[in-house]
Amino acid sequence: MSETPEVRPPVVTPVRVIIALCLVAPFVALLWVGSYAKTDPAFIGIPFFYWYQMLWVLISTALTMTAYQLWQRDQRARASRTGGEQR
């Protein structure tokens, strides 16, 4: 009674690395406070410190949506490869 081992797709794939980068980028950008802790250049009278953070709200939204779409595509591809069985 020899059973063949189940072949699973790799856990770390290029798509999953891109997803991780999309999710980690806002944390890195905003935790590195020294890069934006200044007042110039001002944008319509708003110091750089504030508008930079508000810009990252929009960028983070776009990156999170991208990561979600990539994740959904990855899960559908894995399900079709394994015969509908999702992990």
pTM of the model: 0.78
Q: Is the pLDDT of residue 84 over 80?
A: no
Does position 86 have pLDDT exceeding 60, yes or no? Answer: no
Quote the percentage of the chain above a pLDDT of 70. 86
Could you tell me where the beta strands, DSSP code E, fall in 1-87? none
Contact 19, 63 (CB under 8 A): no
Closest CA to 23 of 76, 54, 57, 66: 66
Whether 58 shows a pLDDT value over 70: the answer reads yes
Span 7-32, pLDDT tens digits: 676 788 899 999 999 999 999 999 99
Q: Quick one: pLDDT at residue 79? A: 85
